[in-house]
Amino acid sequence: MTNVPGPQFPLYAAGAPMLEMFPVVPLAKGQALAIGLTSYDGGVYYGFNGDRDAMHDLDVLAGMVNESLDELLTTVAPS
């Protein structure tokens, strides 16, 4: 897992604003999973890279992370 802070202001390409940023972390030899976190313009984004042979259920992990983050937000967000 790695965290790389990104710019906290919007970036543009040919006048179009970049809306999101997703990190891609390469797998090292023998590594089954890499997780990248980055921040951009007030948001936090994450990306998973997994070895399909070693981690065939990477989509399940991604779904569980989304579910857990949604649960966390309901505990800290004002009602």
Residue ranges per domain, the chain? 2-76
Q: Express each pLDDT in 8-50 by its tens digit.
A: 999 999 999 999 998 999 999 999 999 999 999 999 999 999 9
Q: Express each pLDDT in 52-76 by its tens digit.
A: 999 889 999 999 999 999 999 899 8
Q: Concatenated DSSP letters for 5-70? A: ---SS--EETTEEP-------PPPTT--EEEEEEEETTEEEEEEEE-TTT-TTHHHHHHHHHHHHH
Give the pTM: 0.79
